[in-house]
Structure 1
């Protein structure tokens, strides 16, 4: 096929209803294959819903993604991150972006492309749920902001269409650095292994896991799709343990093969290692 359809475009089409995919055109193998989606149970359902999950194999600096911005918290954050020859501290909310080559009023450093001074201040958000004030701080209330490049996420948050689920991870219980070093509390298996933690996120077990959370959910929900169980679990980036169930079969979509869509005979039975960087948005796996 000559037309290009990236994942974002596919998701936009999918949100309009799986039946809409048939309109991509029958002149291409991709269009022919997608037209078959018209038989999905969601085509006639009046309350059809799809859960779209994204799993990022790469690391994420969450401390520069969603930030507490009250004076006490911000002071601690900025002191910790505004250090060294190449600091990564973001600018306070309300700070204007500093043009390249100009001196930033907050840090006194010259702004450059890809540097916090050039991005401007963090984007304030107003949570609808009151947030607890941490112990041993002087804060009287809690305020928050997003990374200055997360303008799209801020728009969704302000519309009530995005929520932040914080302090979620593979730890068994809240753990301090001292407790970790002393091994005085239960810890996840292979906590320092990137591959094992990727697998734990997807399946609750280390590398070699055979069934993932999405696959387990698919096993329970596939009966609601009648005879069209092939559409219970759809992946847009290969296969992964997340969608591997006891019975459900992943249905992979791709524009990199001919035909563009292929149904696997069975789900993968073990988790795999990291994907290449260009494939970092993996199979319908989870964000928050």
Structure 2
């Protein structure tokens, strides 16, 4: 008997884009096959071009329906009724006017974001969340008519899924890492990885063959100061050593992971290159707030400024920042009043730095979080939910728009007929835009081929036809192609 013919890569990808990849081993097989074949010409940017993607992860689940609020009178009245004591008053909001929509507002502590939005340099993606396949109604959830993400309201599961793009299975490989596996060859100096983390090890930047380069807000970590154990009265040295440990101690379950020692050698080789490239000061007049996010975005700006240094020559980079403390089961109003202004001020300073460097069209920043939160109050806070609103900032962004479908904020009663099909209870909204669509848009902008999207996002075929020329969401300026 003749053996059955082997399925080629084109057939594999055809299956993946039509039905979604149902197992991580198959996804890894496809990715390794793609790597073995080499990267298509279309992935390579024009000589000298540069792009960077910055992920600002608000860990804990940001209450984003107080970050983006409808202002059309009837919609705002519904917001007030549903949010009850969690609602923001007129005085606590900054109005914005998105193109083609009724008026909206952002949280009053975010004036810099409002200005970026009004100037066309920022946009929102409304009600985005983890999905395996499209879900349209509360009945489909309650009657298990559709496949739902694992651990839907779990912090650990949803953080992982936002970073992996794999809501149907648990994985230690991120969609940013899979993207880097495919395009990191674009950078001519492989010693310094294209993925740079300001907050240590993370899943988003971990790939089959690549991992992040962990730095601190002060820059690269010099291993000459590394100590293997805690030392009393050596807080700076201990902090630097912890950053090194985070960089070196990776999950080695993937097939092509390097050994600990080779990672340590890579870090030592990369230090001198990175430190030299990021040594120059930022342009005069650029000032960052001395806050958690401000310090980190300042270091990202310095790295972007040094990308073209002769010893670095980076043409594609990703950056990861994670700021925790957004799990506001109580005192959500006070918590956001303290934290959202720090996010807004840091992003405003970051965009000003990009303009000063002439790099605003080369960088896109996006926010992410575990999930949205309940629209209704638990008396002093809000609880875990599903769909959320996320911010996109960059000169290439077709700004002053809200992409996706901002849901009706009507909340279903505890009993009786459904009045809002998207509300699964207490204002837990079914996402109307999938994370896959958002991530695919960002991956295409950074340099991925449409044909490779199923390798990066195994369920993308359930939301987007990769053979079409249109973008999944369309949030970038149309002349980008």
Q: How many Å apart are 1:208 and its aligned residue?
A: 4.3
Does 2:234 align with 1:234? no
* Alpha-carbon displacement from aligned partner over 1:7-64 (angstroms, at most 9, x marks no partner): xxxxxxxxxxxxxxxxxxxxxxxxxxxxxxxxxxxxxx74322211111221111211
SS in 1 for 2:125: coil
- 2:324 and 2:197 map into 1 onto residues whose CA distance is 18
Match of 2:87 among 89, 94, 97: 89
- 2:79 and 2:192 map into 1 onto residues whose CA distance is 48
* Alpha-carbon displacement from aligned partner over 1:197-236 (angstroms, at most 9, x marks no partner): 1111110235841210110111122111123352311000
Q: How many Å apart are 1:180 and its aligned residue?
A: 2.1
- 1:123 and 1:229 map into 2 onto residues whose CA distance is 45
Name the structure 2 match of 1:168.
Answer: 128
Name the structure 1 match of 2:52.
Answer: 50
- 1:279 and 1:81 map into 2 onto residues whose CA distance is 18
Matches within 5 A, 1:1-288: 46-82=48-84, 87-92=85-90, 120-128=91-99, 130-131=100-101, 142-171=102-131, 172-205=133-166, 208-254=170-216, 256-258=239-241, 264=247, 267-268=250-251, 277=324, 287=368, 288=391
SS in 2 for 1:53: strand
Q: Is the 8 A contact 1:237 1:253 kept in 2?
A: yes
- The answer to which of 195-204 and 224-233 deviates more is 224-233
SS in 1 for 2:204: helix
More strand by share: 2
Q: Is the 8 A contact 2:58 2:323 kept in 1?
A: no
Q: How many Å apart are 1:164 and its aligned residue?
A: 0.4
Q: Is the 8 A contact 2:68 2:105 kept in 1?
A: yes
Q: Which runs of 4+ in 1 moved over 6 A?
A: 259-263, 278-281
* Alpha-carbon displacement from aligned partner over 1:46-105 (angstroms, at most 9, x marks no partner): 4322211111221111211111111221111111223xxxx111113xxxxxxxxxxxxx
- 2:118 and 2:48 map into 1 onto residues whose CA distance is 28
Q: How many Å apart are 1:265 and its aligned residue?
A: 5.1
Q: How many Å apart are 1:286 and its aligned residue?
A: 5.2
TM superposition score normalised by structure 2? 0.37
* Alpha-carbon displacement from aligned partner over 1:152-186 (angstroms, at most 9, x marks no partner): 21111122111101121013323433432222333
Q: Is the 8 A contact 2:60 2:326 kept in 1?
A: no
- 2:174 and 2:203 map into 1 onto residues whose CA distance is 5
| Runs of 5+ consecutive residues of structure 2 not aligned to the other structure | 1-46, 219-238, 254-321, 328-342, 344-364, 369-390, 392-481
Q: Is the 8 A contact 2:177 2:206 kept in 1?
A: yes
Per the alignment, do residues 79 and 276 of structure 1 end up closer, same or farther by CA in structure 2, a change over 3 Å counting?
A: closer
Q: How many Å apart are 1:264 and its aligned residue?
A: 4.0
| Runs of 5+ consecutive residues of structure 1 not aligned to the other structure | 1-44, 93-119, 132-141
Q: Is the 8 A contact 2:193 2:210 kept in 1?
A: no
Q: Is the 8 A contact 2:152 2:158 kept in 1?
A: yes
- The answer to which of 169-178 and 235-244 deviates more is 169-178
Per the alignment, do residues 174 and 69 of structure 1 end up closer, same or farther by CA in structure 2, a change over 3 Å counting?
A: farther
TM superposition score normalised by structure 1? 0.59
Name the structure 2 match of 1:14.
Answer: none
Name the structure 2 match of 1:105.
Answer: none
